[in-house]
């Protein structure tokens, strides 16, 4: 391999280091265990209901928690806040076209704004939307538009112990069988997520994306990408898929998107901003419909719920996000935490994903039934131990079957330790690992929870619990 990769990052045998230095800091503090016990009780044992002031290391989510660069902060002073036709929109549109390759761009305030519009323009009641595992807001919008979600992720995705490179792949046989069973005319699009959050941040291979597109196109079905973490997916392709080791992440991203017909995007993840998103499409007629609907839900089609300054920061964030040295350090930090836990024999989803380390709560608390919410309880116990805030990704997040009213019982019952981009240091990862290992040591005496308040939509955000 050459001394320098195409955009100047060191060769892979060197350890990574962050390609930036810190210019501004925000103080955080660790509270006492007694104070944390009160805080989590008042929050109904739901980490979403904690006040951020009471949190020491916040690994709730990588959504909107990014640290912006000096260039992005400078962009905040370059906002063209005209109601219509802001120059920042045209810059953003060009940047998305250049890096993701789609023809038309509709800005939205965040990812779910784009999901809402996509569902409304594509889905009719009675439709079926296949996807490589569900995502909470994505499926909610599909269902609100009258569709039923059908999971077509490879079976291996449901097994947290299998060490495979592309556990986010679509099961092509399952997809073919579904098309044969319900008919292509009832499938408006395939919802392809890269990487797959609910499977533990697992990537989709380029070959799989190509095959899905080929199969879908043969049946006249569109493929819509959830591009929220597609840059991280592109990095895994570079690292793991033959033929891609010498390509840049930017090149891989372009090729990956070329096998899809459009995307929804939460800019709060890959794109290194605190708010923003977009819907991108190649079909002009669909774009017309979307740019009309966005006026109703988000704002005019040249701002879509974002300030001009936010669009400018996102345009610059996209360019920074595809740089090989950035993404290598970002995923490298996640792997660093994951490896520490693996060395301590803590059960985590393997392989380590792109944005988070997922604790396997079923293996962590084997004495708890899934209806005693082991992952929800584990997230609460971790907070009590150290003030590290994580998130449940299991039976609470999965919600209820809209027909039977029963809890979905997902195979994966996980706690997600999500790493914000460019925010924490390795020392924060060390403290986090130490706390997880401590809680693991006390696992046999841990008790489950009971649900005492359950909101109707996306219950995990606002549900409340009490200890059993």
Ligand X SMILES: *Cc1c(COP(=O)(O)O)cnc(C)c1O
Whether the Cβ atoms of residue 417 and residue 200 lie closer than 8 Å to each other: no
Piece of 104-112, 166-174, 250-258, 285-293 that binds ligand X (CB under 6 A):
104-112
Nearer to ligand X, 63 or 86 (CB): 63
Count Cβ neighbours within 10 Å for each residue of 274-309 and write b for 16 or more, e otherwise: bbbbbbbbbbeebbebbbebbeeebbbbbbbbbbbb
63 binds ligand X (CB under 6 A): yes
110 binds ligand X (CB under 6 A): yes
Give me the residue label for tokens 């964030």.
317
Piece of 178-186, 261-269, 379-387, 398-406 that binds ligand X (CB under 6 A):
261-269
321 binds ligand X (CB under 6 A): no
Among 135, 166, 236, 383, binds ligand X (CB under 6 A): 135
393 binds ligand X (CB under 6 A): no
d(CA 67, CA 428): 15
d(CA 113, CA 144): 13
Nearer to ligand X, 63 or 95 (CB): 63
Piece of 44-52, 110-118, 250-258, 410-418 that binds ligand X (CB under 6 A):
110-118
Please work out the total of residues on this chain that contact ligand X, with binding judged by CB under 6 A: 15
d(CA 100, CA 227): 9
Nearer to ligand X, 355 or 428 (CB): 355
Nearer to ligand X, 273 or 439 (CB): 273
135 is catalytic: yes
Among 47, 202, 233, 266, binds ligand X (CB under 6 A): 266
Among 65, 86, 116, 137, binds ligand X (CB under 6 A): 137
Among 19, 277, 354, 374, binds ligand X (CB under 6 A): 277
Among 193, 250, 273, 359, binds ligand X (CB under 6 A): 193
138 binds ligand X (CB under 6 A): yes
269 is catalytic: yes
Give the residue at shortest CB distance from ligand X. Answer: 111
401 is catalytic: no
460 is catalytic: yes
d(CA 65, CA 58): 9
Total number of residues shown for the chain: 468
Backbone φ/ψ region at 119: left (φ over 0), alpha (ψ -120 to 50), beta: alpha
Q: Which among 127, 226, 270, 310 is annotated as catalytic? A: 226
166 binds ligand X (CB under 6 A): no
Measured between alpha carbons, how far apart are the two ends of the chain, in Å?
Answer: 57
Residue 234 C-beta: closest distance to ligand X, Å = 15
226 is catalytic: yes
Among 91, 99, 112, 389, binds ligand X (CB under 6 A): 112
Q: Which among 95, 108, 136, 228 is annotated as catalytic? A: 136
**Residues paired with residue 263 on neighbouring β-strands, in sequence order:** 225, 280
Among 208, 228, 302, 370, binds ligand X (CB under 6 A): 228
Query: Which is nearest to 467 in space by CA: 170, 45, 105, 169?
Result: 45
CA angle (326 as vertex; 322, 329 as ends), nearest 5 = 135
d(CA 226, CA 20): 28
Distances (CA, A) of 421 to 135, 170, 199, 431: 21, 27, 20, 18
Q: Which among 11, 83, 246, 425 is annotated as catalytic? A: 83
Among 171, 226, 325, 384, binds ligand X (CB under 6 A): 226
197 binds ligand X (CB under 6 A): yes
**Six-digit token string for 410:** 């997902």
CA angle (278 as vertex; 274, 284 as ends), nearest 5 = 170
Whether the Cβ atoms of residue 393 and residue 379 lie closer than 8 Å to each other: no
Residue 307 C-beta: closest distance to ligand X, Å = 16
d(CA 115, CA 21): 36
d(CA 308, CA 291): 18
Residue 108 C-beta: closest distance to ligand X, Å = 8
Active site positions, annotated: 83, 135-136, 226, 269, 393, 460
Question: Which residues are near ligand X by CB under 6 A?
Answer: 63, 110-112, 135, 137-138, 193, 197, 226, 228, 266, 268-269, 277
């Amino acid at each position: 391999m050459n001394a320098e990769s195409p955009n100047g990052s060191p060769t892979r045998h060197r350890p990574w280091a962050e390609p930036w230095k810190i210019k501004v800091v925000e103080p955080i503090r660790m509270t006492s265990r007694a104070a944390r016990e009160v805080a989590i009780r008042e929050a109904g044992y739901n980490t979403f209901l904690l006040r951020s002031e009471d949190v020491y290391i916040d690994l709730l989510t990588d959504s909107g928690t990014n640290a912006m660069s000096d260039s992005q902060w400078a962009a905040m002073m370059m906002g063209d806040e005209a109601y219509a036709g802001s120059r920042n929109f045209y810059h953003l549109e060009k940047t998305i076209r250049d890096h993701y390759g789609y023809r038309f761009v509709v800005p939205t305030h965040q990812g779910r704004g784009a999901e809402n519009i996509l569902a409304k323009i594509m889905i009719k009641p009675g439709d079926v939307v296949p996807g490589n595992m569900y995502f909470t807001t994505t499926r909610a919008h599909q269902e609100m538009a009258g569709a039923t979600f059908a999971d077509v992720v490879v079976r291996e995705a449901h097994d947290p112990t299998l060490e495979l490179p592309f556990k986010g792949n679509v099961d092509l046989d399952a997809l073919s069988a579904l098309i044969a069973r319900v008919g292509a005319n009832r499938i408006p699009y395939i919802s392809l997520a890269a990487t797959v959050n609910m499977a533990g941040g697992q990537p989709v291979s380029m070959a799989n994306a190509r095959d899905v597109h080929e199969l879908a196109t043969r049946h006249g079905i569109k493929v819509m990408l959830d591009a929220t973490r597609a840059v991280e997916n592109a990095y895994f392709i570079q690292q793991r898929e033959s033929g891609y080791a010498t390509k840049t992440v930017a090149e891989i991203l372009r090729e990956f998107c070329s096998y899809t017909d459009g995307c929804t995007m939460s800019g709060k993840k890959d794109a290194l901003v605190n708010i923003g998103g977009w819907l991108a499409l190649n079909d002009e007629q669909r774009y017309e419909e979307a740019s009309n609907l966005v006026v109703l839900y988000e704002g005019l089609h040249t701002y879509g719920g974002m300030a001009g300054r936010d669009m400018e920061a996102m345009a610059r964030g996209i360019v920074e996000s595809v740089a090989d040295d950035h993404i290598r350090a970002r995923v490298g930090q996640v792997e660093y935490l994951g490896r520490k836990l693996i060395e301590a024999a803590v059960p985590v989803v393997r392989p380590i994903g792109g944005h988070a380390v997922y604790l396997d709560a079923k293996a962590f608390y084997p004495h708890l039934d899934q209806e005693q919410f082991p992952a929800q309880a584990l997230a609460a116990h971790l907070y009590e131990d150290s003030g590290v805030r994580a998130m449940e990704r299991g039976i609470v997040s999965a919600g209820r079957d809209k027909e039977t009213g029963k809890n979905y019982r997902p195979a994966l019952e996980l706690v997600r330790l999500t790493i914000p981009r460019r925010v924490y240091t390795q020392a924060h990862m060390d403290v986090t690992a130490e706390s997880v290992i401590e809680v693991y040591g006390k696992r046999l005496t841990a008790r489950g929870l009971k649900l005492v308040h359950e909101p109707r939509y996306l219950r995990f955000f606002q549900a409340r619990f009490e200890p059993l």
